[in-house]
Structure 1
Amino acid sequence: MQSARQNQPGTTKQETTEQDIVTADIGGTNARFAIARIGNGKVLSLGEPHTLPVADYDSLADAWHHFEKIAGCPLPNHAAMALACPVQGDVLTMANNPWTVIPADLPRELNISPPLLLNDFEAVAHAVAAVDHSHLPLLCGPDRPLPEEGTIVAIGPGTGLGTASIIRRDGRTLVSGSEAGHMGFSPFDDFEDRLLDRLRSVHGRVSAERIISGPGFIPLCTQLAEDTGDSWRDLNDKQLWTLALEGHDKLTRDGMARFCLALGSFAGDIALAHCATGVVVAGGLGKRLMEVLPASGFAKRFIAKGRFEDMMRRIPVRMIRYPEPGLFGAASALALHLAARTPEAP
């Protein structure tokens, strides 16, 4: 693996605009790293990703240096990092993992130039904006490509619930991250009212992420068990999701159906709030549910917006089928950032 700290003398303009970078996707459970090749504002290639469990490392710097050992050589000087937290202020506190990131310290700790930091779902949105249409299979709505004008929202359940917007105007694209997953949960029916009451007794305020996320499957299945009188097994969310996706266990299968309904409601609410012209479902669970969502009640809940149902029916909703959208998207964001700083050739 070659480092791209310096360009060789005598290279052409085309050659000097291509370089290697480190791209990282730091989530609540895993930290992913890869080397990407970028040039002229695009990702030219994405190297083999390496996934490191967050729980095995005390800090981002520890995980970074472990990746450097895996690479076997000094890492490139430029880096893009997608972080599962708001990227604001002098100290960044990760939403679902114990790491704290101080941006000003990263160049010294990692021995690189100041990295490009962005919200993890902002990175996913960059991937949505950059990947080929073939990586965006239809979930529901009209079968047409994502529009070239308007606002596209990306939504993704995983360890948390990510959201971001892609704004396309007059041939230009702007990507903006958000923390809409922490908006208050809005129940749709009696079951969700009971679920909300259960969680309110524990947390007080209940965000959408408390339910529409991997860990949110536990209280959802617990409420179903209470309603039906089924025996409850003390399993973690990963074990429950495995049972649900295998399809042999009725309680978790019903819980997965309920999860898809709640995700559809939330996706529709966010689309309505942005007057979106397109929606993309991503995230770790979005990927695992790719075969489940199209046949679920997602679409029915997505359009169930009263007087705005006709408008909601006209929104194409797609999924992203790309191996590592966070890594690709962070690299794409840095490619655009560096291209914008490159002076035009005389």
Structure 2
Amino acid sequence: MQNSAQKPEQDQSRKETPSGTSAAPQDIVAADIGGTHARFAIARVENGTVTSLEDPFILRVADHDTLQDAWHAFGRQAGRPLPAHVAIALACPIQSEVLIMANNPWIVVPADLPRDLNIEPPLFLNDFEAVAHAIASLDITCLPHLCGPDRPLPADGTIVAIGPGTGLGTASIIRRGSQTLVCGAEGGHTGFSPFNDFEDRLLHRLRSVHGRVSAERIISGPGIIPLCAQLAQDTGEAWRDLGDKQLWTLALEGHDRLTREAMSLFCQALGGFAGDMALAHCATGVVVAGGLGKRLMDILPTSGFADRFIAKGRFEEMMRKIPVRMIHYPEPGLFGAASALARKLAHTS
């Protein structure tokens, strides 16, 4: 079954190859490898755009020893020969001959994959770089308003993409006239900056365990564990030794006071981090994505996110002018990876 790709913000349906003739449609594979799940899908591309994206095949990373094992499981599920052109988004920097992910035990050697998988040399990109490619292409209807001015993302300037999930991803979209450049980043591994007394205590708790404390330690799925533990210590409540998935379920159900308060503090910390990233990049737009961003879509607009986003001292008025949106699309990582490869194929054909 195929899903039609969403209409791009700017009409790219008439793009042509450098020779001036339209390129024939072709199938490609998009893969989005995160800390917990690996997603694969076959996409159809034509003239530099994604025209359809099939339903994804999703598997747990922990159930497979290598990317190659997961690929072969996908091939068996597909029941047909897989396309030779592949885009692979990975939750790590794409800067070496051996790719090691922070929240995933797989080790990927790009030079081995063409031989092991019988494919062309893949296009590799950071997982949030792929999400940023999706943001750059999707229609405004897929990017609902979160806070700030309710207007489209700017046609000129820098847009920062941020997403909490198993980790904390960041990327940027730089628009200059008709040119768009997408850059992956590792902003989630910058140091956590506390805003108030509670976050000071939280930082002290985490520093005693980890030494250096990155923003990802708090602003990610597992971050709800230390948030709840610190709240329990502050209030004298009994601490329940639950995993982050159980705690998020309780928080989103809204009946448990401690986890509900932890979720509120999480939204505030996310807003502060988003504002810091926007300030660091002199951004003219921000988009919140990620697995947790999606789950919190109905909560973030009425949380403390917006107040913490703009709380940047002398730059508060500038922060108020930045449109902040969310992404509402089933598989932005897969769509973005496919979009990046579609453009590459169009330019090289």
Q: Is TM more than 0.5 here? A: yes
Deviation, structure 1 residue 147:
0.3
Deviations 1:11-47 (A, max 9, x none): x953x43100000000000000000001111110000
Fraction of identical pairs, as percent: 76
What residue is the counterpart of 1:5 in the other structure? none
- Are 1:177 and 2:184 an aligned pair? yes
Which one-letter code corresponds to 2:116 in the other structure?
E
Deviations 1:235-282 (A, max 9, x none): 000000000000000000000000000000000000000000000000
Deviation, structure 1 residue 77:
0.6
What residue is the counterpart of 1:288 in the other structure? 295
How far apart are the structure 2 equivalents of 1:180 and 1:339? 31
What residue is the counterpart of 2:228 in the other structure? 221
What residue is the counterpart of 2:75 in the other structure? 68
- Are 1:18 and 2:9 an aligned pair? no
Paired residue secondary structure (2:221): coil
How far apart are the structure 2 equivalents of 1:340 and 1:191? 51
Paired residue secondary structure (1:164): strand
Q: How many residues are paired up? A: 332
What residue is the counterpart of 2:275 in the other structure? 268
Deviation, structure 1 residue 306:
0.3
What residue is the counterpart of 1:48 in the other structure? 55
How far apart are the structure 1 equivalents of 2:328 and 2:177? 27
Deviations 1:99-138 (A, max 9, x none): 0000000101111000000000000000000011000000
Paired residue secondary structure (1:216): helix
How far apart are the structure 1 equivalents of 2:254 and 2:117? 45
- Tell me the TM-score normalized by structure 1: 0.95
Paired residue secondary structure (1:290): coil
How far apart are the structure 2 equivalents of 1:289 and 1:23? 26
- Are 1:196 and 2:203 an aligned pair? yes
How far apart are the structure 1 equivalents of 2:117 and 2:38? 15
Paired residue secondary structure (2:222): coil
Which one-letter code corresponds to 1:262 in the other structure?
A
RMSD over aligned Cα atoms: 1.2
Consecutive unaligned residues of structure 1, counting only runs of 5 or more, are 3-11
Deviation, structure 1 residue 73:
1.0
Deviations 1:128-151 (A, max 9, x none): 000110000000000000000000
- Are 1:123 and 2:130 an aligned pair? yes
How far apart are the structure 2 equivalents of 1:29 and 1:325? 16
- Are 1:151 and 2:158 an aligned pair? yes
Deviations 1:75-120 (A, max 9, x none): 0010001000111111000110100000000101111000000000
- Are 1:318 and 2:328 an aligned pair? no
Which one-letter code corresponds to 2:76 in the other structure?
K
How far apart are the structure 2 equivalents of 1:134 and 1:236? 35
- Pick the aligned partner of 1:253 from 238, 253, 260: 260
How far apart are the structure 2 equivalents of 1:310 and 1:18? 47
Paired residue secondary structure (2:237): coil
- Are 1:34 and 2:8 an aligned pair? no
Which one-letter code corresponds to 2:53 in the other structure?
L
- Pick the aligned partner of 1:163 from 164, 170, 193: 170
- Pick the aligned partner of 1:299 from 285, 290, 306: 306
How far apart are the structure 2 equivalents of 1:70 and 1:43? 22
Which one-letter code corresponds to 1:216 in the other structure?
G
How far apart are the structure 1 equivalents of 2:101 and 2:232? 32
- Pick the aligned partner of 2:339 from 296, 315, 332: 332
Paired residue secondary structure (2:198): helix
How far apart are the structure 1 equivalents of 2:199 and 2:344? 43
Deviation, structure 1 residue 320:
0.2
Paired residue secondary structure (1:310): helix
